[in-house]
């Protein structure tokens, strides 16, 4: 330690071992004290604001997550109901398929009968025309 003291003259101020440069019992400038208190208060207010904003962000995210969960739950219920409806419709269609096939066959038969009726009508008109022609002679 004498080695350290020999390097530095006694007139040089020594560094304080205190963690604060403000000592409660030391005389100090009241304006500086007021400014320091104001600075610490404003810093505390700023940090409190930042924490409050962060907390509000998390509350908003939580609310959004709850709304999303509710929406997905509703969508899931809707999808399940749609699936049940589609299954029911498919079952009904399968039960009606033989009747639908019969209806298709009847439609084809009716279409053929209609064509035959048109041909028969045309033939009867030609016969009538020939009969009238023969009658005039």
3-state secondary structure 82-117: HHHHHHHHHHHHHHHHHHHHHHHHHHHHHHHHHHHH
Q: What is the mean pLDDT of residues 21-44?
A: 81
Q: What is the mean pLDDT of residues 65-74?
A: 98
Task: Give the pLDDT band (50/70/90) at residue 95.
Answer: very high
Three-state SS at 121: helix
pLDDT of residue 136: 85
Q: Is 90 exceeded by the pLDDT of residue 121?
A: yes
| Residue from 52, 20, 57, 14 nearest 36 by CA | 20
Looking at the whole model, is its pTM more than 0.75?
A: no
Domain ranges of the chain: 31-136
pLDDT of the residue at 27: 63
CB 22 within 8 A of CB 28: yes
- Write down the pLDDT at residue 21: 55
Q: Whole-number mean pLDDT of the chain? A: 86
Buried b (16+ CB within 10 A) or exposed e, 24-40: eeeeeeeeeeeeeeeee
């Amino acid at each position: 330690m004498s080695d350290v003291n020999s390097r530095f003259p006694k007139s040089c101020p020594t560094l304080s071992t205190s963690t604060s440069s403000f000592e409660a019992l030391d005389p100090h400038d009241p304006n500086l004290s007021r400014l320091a208190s104001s600075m610490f208060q404003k810093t505390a207010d700023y940090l409190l604001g930042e924490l409050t904003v962060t907390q509000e962000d998390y509350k908003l995210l939580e609310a959004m997550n709850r709304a999303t969960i509710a929406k997905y739950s509703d969508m899931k219920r809707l999808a399940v109901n749609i699936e049940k409806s589609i299954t029911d419709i498919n079952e009904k269609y399968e039960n009606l398929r033989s009747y639908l096939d019969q209806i298709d066959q009847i439609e084809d038969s009716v279409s053929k009968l209609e064509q035959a009726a048109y041909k028969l009508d045309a033939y009867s008109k030609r016969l009538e025309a020939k009969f009238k022609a023969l009658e005039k002679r």
